[in-house]
Structure 1
């Protein structure tokens, strides 16, 4: 990314966030923690897969750590290939903004200044990405793609909830 493009993206993001109260961080937002461990990622993936299979939803499920690096990726049978990239994008977007991607989707859908978010390179403002918190810290995120966005989010929330363990 060129410096000019980076500046334009950062400016667009700052303007969109300033104009979008729905994205304002609550007092004391969760901070980033150590990267999600393999066992927690396995619990998240197993729960997400179980939710998808229970509903017969062909989805791709991506889990990233607190640095945005891919930890796990599963594509269930009959899932379109394009869902892989979208699931990864949703996971990274949820991580980078420390909130479910539904919040970003809502801001963009509202039009006006919220459309400036679309200028942010790599942003995936589609429902289906959820941060993974363990011990009050964001350790990663999960993104799901393949069915309706609300269904993707249902699968992602099941995975995120299972990450902390019993």
Structure 2
């Protein structure tokens, strides 16, 4: 599993924008930037939709006031689902990033097998990344939602 001080692996993601489908790389998203990344097991799922994503939507301005260049919500879902979820949650200030095949999630060792729920998904976590290097990683215990909240990340900043 990735840890504080590690550099993020270089992978390609999927991102649906107003200009259509994009395929940004890790470098495109993190190089030279301070980024808050949080990951969820699935878009439109209860805890993710009722608490995790809304916390970052509500606190986006506060995070950016503390020097964060971008806030990324990641899930092992396709870009169309992530785009629709972002619209449904008024997440205009966030990047709704798809790790469609789970390549990033697997490469950092934070995947989990959910069986019939959806197969390989991401564990719930948040991280503060500075110029592609993990500065703070907060991984939730299974079925918990305590350490990856936006409010906890604000405390780290």
Shared topology, TM-score over 0.5? no
Between structure 1 and structure 2, the one with the greater Rg is: 1
- In the superposition, the TM-score normalised over structure 1's length comes to 0.30
Structure that is richer in helix per residue: 1
Structure that is richer in strand per residue: 2
- In the superposition, the TM-score normalised over structure 2's length comes to 0.31
